[in-house]
A and B are shown apart, each in its own frame.
Chain A
Amino acid sequence: MNQTVDPSVSPLPTDAVIPRPLDPHELIERSRPAPAGAWLWYVGGSSLLILLIGSWAGSQSPQLQTMMRVLGGLVFLGLAGGMMALSWSVARKRGAEIQNLQTIEELIQLRRTPEAAMWLQRLLSAPMRSIGPRMQALVYLSAVLVRYHRFEDATVVQNYLLDHMAGDSLGVQALRLNRAMCMLQEDRLVDADRAIIELRRMPESEESGGLALLEIYRDVKTGHPAEAIEVFTKKLPLLRRQLGHRLADAWALMAKAYDMVGETARAAAAYTNATLLAPVSEVIGRYPEVGSLSGRYTAAAAPADE
């Protein structure tokens, strides 16, 4: 089709000029907390200077002494008032930041991902007030990027967080698990395998349901269904205790594993269990490999709410 272009109209935006939403590099940079303003030191120093001059002047004449005492009182009042106003303002802004984080967490939990993404874009586009909430916001950013299947971007955020978080806390372990899961989703199987070996070395790794799920997924993904079934068999009590309704993930992967070894009756039962705990679309969204089972096995449908 032949179209004429009006030169007075500005060109249509292209990918090069549209800011990419949830760009991890950009949001990591922009959200860095701003250094504390130097004005606080100026105010404190000036007040101290006034008091010192006042004290010196007061020692020179009794008239000045009275005046300087009044001035000193006013300076103290101003300082106290200023500090109170500053503390109140800082506390209010911190409170708002934490409230925003709580909202984002709830939106992610409720699977309202686009809204969570908008909140994160807004929150991380400006310097955040403190380090802790910023790290938490970045954890949420990686979760949202995973929901959008932007595994490479999610890994960028996870790497940044792991570089800046110390120790073997539960948060660090969860991040490493999520990073390994992203590697598997991206088919970076060697990296994922190495990450799983590292995770196994962490304390209490035997008691990690998340790690068991990761190993099951790796085995399914790499065509080792028998190993996946073995891990599942051994770790089912742990998975049940720790995963809640995300146990659906393990059952879905089991369905796939049993299907791969040709045990269709067990695959069908596992598929029913998976879809009893979570909607089919959700399970397939997380594990595209399970999509091939849809239609071949019966999903457990929820009764009508009427």
Chain B
Amino acid sequence: MNMLSTESAISRFRRDLTLGRLLRLALMVGAVVAVGLNLSPSTRIDGTFPLLVIGFVWVILSYRSIKGNRLAAESPSLIAAGQLDAAEQHIELALRSFSLFRSGKMLSLHHLALLRHAQRRWRDSALISRALLQQRFSGPAYITKPSQLLLADALLELGDLPGAYRSLAALSREKLSLGEAMNFLLVQLDYESRLQAWDSMIARGSMYQRLQLIELMPTVNAARAQALMALAAIKIGRQDWAQWLRGRAELLVDAKELIAERPFLSEVWPDAAGANGSAVSLIPSPGIPGEG
């Protein structure tokens, strides 16, 4: 499929925002002038008809914008269901359609960043998220905070630790929703593990609070977060925590899958590089619980 390239999507987004802003301004100025004409007894021009035309144009463009927004709103569920091609089509249509309001355009571009993230195209995801966050007027929080999280994660994947730190620092000043806090914790653990900040990963007194968040995460995220914490526990000599966290992680996801994503996790499962790659010591094979 011939999809918009990242650069062209960003330039189209910027162009559409400018166009939308100019159009809104023109319509508002036109409306003010038309009303002014009617209010001023000295002029002989009637502003009623132009005002009606402006109102009609506004309603039509608003309707088109709402249609585009509805199209864009379906994309996250398609991405979550793994239907990436269908999501790509939706996003392309939404990005190509005109929107009078900037939030609709921003949401479509954010969905493109989400899609690129799901496709593991980290550079593209980072570029798009950065373009969103660099807007002169910041967008609504329901777009900017997830964009900041996406950016932090994509930069981590690209090995840009200072960039990831800046995004995490910006987010730490924000009030996050529960879902955002879960994602933040996962990215933070990933970041800290790369910095080898083991002590802060197993901070005393905050373990249960972190685990409560982790237990709400989707399977893979919960497993990765606990595997990262198990590694930290090994590094600081907390074998009790290491064993407990490792057991939970491997009940959720096979160790070899976790290691494939983060090779340094092989320290948590030293035997995982074995012949069959299986290190699921605590997970009994299906039908024979308790074995292993």
Binding site for B on A (CB under 8 A): 51, 66, 69-70, 72-74, 76-77, 80, 102, 105-106, 109-110, 229, 232-234, 236-237, 240-245, 247, 251, 254, 258, 265-270, 273, 276-278, 300, 302-303, 305-306
Per the bound structure, the CA–CA distance linking A302 and B245 in Å amounts to 9
CB pair A273–B252 under 8 Å, yes or no, is: no
A109 and B216 contacting across the interface, CB-CB below 8 Å: yes
Report whether A305 and B290 are in contact in the complex, using a CB–CB cutoff of 8 Å. no
Residues of B within 8 A of A110 (CB): 178, 212, 216
Contacts of A76 in B (CB 8 A): 35, 38, 48, 51
A240 to B220, CA, bound (A): 9
Contact present for A73 and B47 (CB under 8 Å): yes
B267 interface hit (Cβ, 8 Å): no
Partner of B204, one of A51, A106, A302, A305: A305
CA distance A51 to B46 in the complex (A): 13
Partner of A278, one of B215, B219, B253, B286: B215
Bound-state CA distance A232–B177 (Å) is 35
Contact with A along B189-226 (1 / 0, CB 8 A): 00000000000000011111001100111110010000
| Bound complex: CA A267 to CA B289 (Å) | 8
Contact of B177 among A102, A229, A241, A242 (CB under 8 A): A102
Across-interface contacts of A306 in B (CB, < 8 A): 204-205
Q: Bound complex: CA of A106 vs CA of B47, how far in Å? A: 52
Measured CB to CB, the nearest residue on chain A to B31 is A80
Q: How far is the CB of A116 from chain B (nearest CB, A)?
A: 12
- How many residue-residue contacts, CB under 8 A, span A and B? 110
Whether A66 pairs with B248 at a CB distance below 8 angstroms is: no
A269→B290 contact, CB < 8 A: yes
Among candidates A69, A70, A236, A242, residue contacting B286 with C-beta atoms closer than 8 Å: A236
CB within 8 Å for A254 and B289 given contacts A73-B35, A277-B251: yes
Cβ contact within 8 Å between B289 and A269: yes
**Chain B contacts of A270 at CB under 8 A?**
289-290
User: Could you list which residues of chain B lie within 8 angstroms of chain A, going by C-beta atoms?
Assistant: 31, 35-39, 41, 46-48, 51, 177-178, 204-208, 211-212, 215-219, 222, 238, 240-241, 244, 247-248, 251-253, 282-284, 286-291
- CB distance B244 to A244 under 8 Å? no
Q: Find out whether the CB atom of A69 lies under 8 angstroms from the CB atom of B31.
A: no
A-B contact pairs, 11 of them (CB 8 A): A69-B48, A70-B41, A106-B178, A234-B286, A244-B217, A269-B291, A276-B251, A277-B248, A277-B251, A300-B244, A305-B207
CB pair A244–B251 under 8 Å, yes or no, is no
Tell me the complex Cα distance, A245–B219, Å: 7
Enumerate chain B residues within 8 angstroms of A302, measured Cβ to Cβ: 208, 211, 244
Give the distance in Å from the alpha carbon of A247 to the alpha carbon of B250 in the complex: 12
Q: Is the CB of B290 within 8 A of A265?
A: yes
> A148 to chain B: closest CB distance in Å?
20
The 9 A-B residue pairs with the shortest CB-CB distance in the complex, in nearest-first order: A269-B290, A73-B38, A233-B287, A303-B240, A106-B178, A305-B207, A73-B39, A266-B290, A245-B215
The one of B39, B215, B238 that contacts A70, using a Cβ cutoff of 8 Å? B39
B215–A303 CB distance below 8 A: no
Residues on the A chain within 8 Å of B207, using CB: 305
How near does chain B come to A274, taking the closest CB pair, in angstroms? 9
- Given A276-B244, A303-B244, A305-B205, is A247 in contact with B38 using a C-beta cutoff of 8 Å? no
Write out the residue numbers on chain A whose beta carbons fall within 8 Å of the beta carbon of B215.
Answer: 244-245, 278
Once A268-B290, A276-B247 are accepted as A-B contacts, the answer to whether A244 and B41 lie under 8 Å apart by CB is: no
Nearest A-chain residue to B45, judged by Cβ: A69
* Minimal Cβ-Cβ distance residue in A for B247: A276
Q: Which B residue's beta carbon lies closest to that of A302? A: B244
